[in-house]
């Protein structure tokens, strides 16, 4: 295995006779409040070979049968490997075209990341970083699931800041010369997916372009920084899964010889690489509603906390029972409006009480914010141009800063990889 941040990996796919629609199941952290969705998936899959039998939907984490589920998952992994469900592994990048429910196509690249280049901790200067704060309490239950597993199945999405579209997008013009890895419709009206095995010449081109993104001189010139470590890849989705992989690698590497350390499969994690500037990738703002407070008092506290101006660049809408007001912060504490507002809300609740909830739809914020004892805050969508600079300069973004697409457009489990010898 070469010591690149992101490289082609030994990827396992099911043999051609496996029903791929039944095989591929949405990421485990989706539909966590909709048991009927997972019940429908279970009925659809039945006993057919499926990633449903190899993963742990998070809706079931609190059911009290975790140990039994994990044993079953591990047994199914061994069974699938022993029974020849998988075709021989492919040591290539897979170019992925995911047609979403709305018809837009998201382009990605499957490969592996070197976990030695990833650090999810606050203040990290590693080449791979979390974009939102990591909730440490979420990691141990996931480590329990992964630590004895023979296989990994990823729903992790990593982002590159490639406005010139030099890494992934050129593959579209070459794809008809590639062998097809898979091509099928996803279950539950979630679109379709097609994968292509990238040839050697394109692999070399990709590696060169990724190396350019990691070049320190190019990085400093691009972002106008001199005292920050190179950020090559940012975690867009699945950060807690990647953090779990990192923690499991920490446990494994303590037992290895220097030779094993360089080549052990647990050192790497399978991910999909997506360009931040892909047209299908749409950021949506996550708004705030604060409950059980005096809205007038909170509005006054905001004017004491920040210098407010209608000419300020950082603006948001505050909704109370008295109506709506656009507010601008002239002396923000963060590079993003959401960061400046979140800091105020956190400090206010700590001092005065209340609770905050995170809301996706503006209409819900307007309705709840207008109720007595509440205050709603409508935030702007984070711009793609500010995304990497903010992570570089401010570190991980405030929690619940943005959302990338709807549940049915999230990554589905499909590719896998052996991580335990």
Q: Delimit the domains of the chain by residue range.
A: 6-282+405-418, 287-378
For residue 186, what pLDDT is reported? 98
Nearest partner of 255 among 270, 245, 267, judged by Cα: 267
Is the pLDDT score of 176 beyond 90? Answer: yes
Beta strands at 128-130 and 233-237: parallel, antiparallel or unpaired: parallel
- CA–CA distance, 127 with 219 (Å, rounded to integer): 11
Mean pLDDT throughout 143-153? 95
- In degrees and rounded to multiples of 5, residue 157 shows phi and psi of -120, 125
Mean pLDDT throughout 278-300? 94
For residue 76, what pLDDT is reported? 98
Is the pLDDT score of 315 beyond 90? Answer: yes
Most confident of 20-29, 126-135, 282-291, 353-362: 20-29
What percent of the chain is predicted at pLDDT more than 70? 99
Residues 144, 148, 152, 153, Cα dihedral to 10°: -50
State pLDDT tens for residues 203-220: 999 999 999 999 999 999
Nearest partner of 26 among 18, 15, 14, 37, judged by Cα: 37
**pTM exceeds 0.75:** yes
Nearest partner of 118 among 7, 268, 274, 275, judged by Cα: 268
Using alpha carbons only, how large is the chain's radius of gyration in Å? 23
Output 395 or 378, whichever has higher pLDDT: 378
For residue 335, what pLDDT is reported? 80
State pLDDT tens for residues 187-205: 999 999 999 999 999 999 9
End-to-end CA distance of the chain: 15
What's the whole-number average pLDDT of the chain?
A: 94
- CA–CA distance, 401 with 340 (Å, rounded to integer): 11
pLDDT-derived band at 85 (thresholds 50, 70, 90) equals very high
State pLDDT tens for residues 223-261: 999 999 999 999 988 888 999 999 999 999 999 998 899
State pLDDT tens for residues 260-269: 998 999 999 9
For residue 1, what pLDDT is reported? 43
pLDDT-derived band at 395 (thresholds 50, 70, 90) equals confident
* Lowest-pLDDT choice from 30-39, 74-83, 208-217: 30-39
Alpha carbon 202 to chain centroid, angstroms: 26
How many other CB atoms sit within 10 Å of the CB of residue 27? 22
- CA–CA distance, 236 with 111 (Å, rounded to integer): 15
State pLDDT tens for residues 216-229: 999 999 999 999 99
Mean pLDDT throughout 146-150? 95
* Lowest-pLDDT choice from 96-110, 328-342, 344-358, 393-407: 393-407
């Amino acid at each position: 295995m070469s010591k690149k941040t992101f490289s082609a990996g030994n990827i396992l796919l099911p043999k051609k006779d496996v029903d791929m629609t039944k095989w591929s199941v949405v990421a485990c952290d989706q539909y966590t409040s909709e048991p009927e969705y997972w019940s429908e998936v279970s009925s659809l899959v039945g006993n057919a070979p499926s990633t449903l039998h190899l993963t742990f939907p998070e809706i079931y984490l609190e059911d009290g049968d975790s140990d039994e589920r994990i044993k079953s998952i591990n047994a199914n992994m061994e069974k699938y490997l022993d029974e020849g469900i998988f075709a021989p592994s492919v040591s290539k990048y897979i170019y992925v075209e995911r047609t979403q429910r709305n018809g837009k196509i998201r382009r990605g690249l499957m490969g592996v990341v070197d976990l030695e280049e990833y650090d999810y901790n606050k203040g990290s200067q590693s080449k791979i970083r979390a974009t939102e704060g990591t909730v440490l309490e979420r990691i141990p239950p996931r480590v329990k699931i992964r630590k004895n597993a023979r296989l990994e199945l990823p729903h992790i999405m990593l982002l590159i800041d490639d406005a010139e579209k030099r890494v992934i997008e050129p593959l579209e013009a070459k794809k008809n010369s590639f062998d097809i890895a898979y091509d099928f419709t996803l279950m539950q009206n979630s679109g379709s997916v097609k994968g292509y095995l990238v040839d050697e010449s394109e692999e070399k081109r990709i590696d060169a372009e990724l190396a350019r993104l990691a070049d320190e001189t190019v990085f400093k010139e691009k972002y106008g920084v001199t005292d920050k470590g190179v950020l090559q890849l940012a975690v867009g989705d699945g950060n807690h899964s990647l953090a779990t992989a990192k923690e499991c690698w920490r446990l494994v590497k303590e037992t290895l010889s220097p030779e094993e350390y360089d080549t052990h499969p647990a050192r790497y994690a399978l991910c999909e690489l997506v360009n931040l500037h892909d047209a299908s990738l749409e950021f949506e703002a996550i708004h705030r509603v604060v409950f059980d407070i005096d809205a007038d008092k909170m509005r006054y506290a905001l004017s004491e906390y920040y210098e407010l101006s209608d000419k300020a660049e950082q603006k948001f809408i505050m909704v109370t029972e008295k109506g709506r007001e656009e507010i601008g912060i002239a002396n923000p504490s963060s590079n993003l409006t959401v960061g400046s507002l979140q800091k105020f809300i956190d400090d206010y609740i700590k001092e005065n009480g209340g609770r905050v909830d995170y809301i996706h739809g503006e209409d819900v914020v307007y309705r709840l914010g207008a109720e007595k004892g509440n205050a709603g805050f409508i935030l702007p969508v984070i711009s793609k141009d500010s995304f990497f600079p903010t992570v570089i300069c401010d570190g991980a973004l405030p929690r619940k800063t943005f959302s990338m697409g709807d549940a049915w457009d999230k990554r589905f489990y499909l590719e896998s990889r052996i991580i335990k010898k």
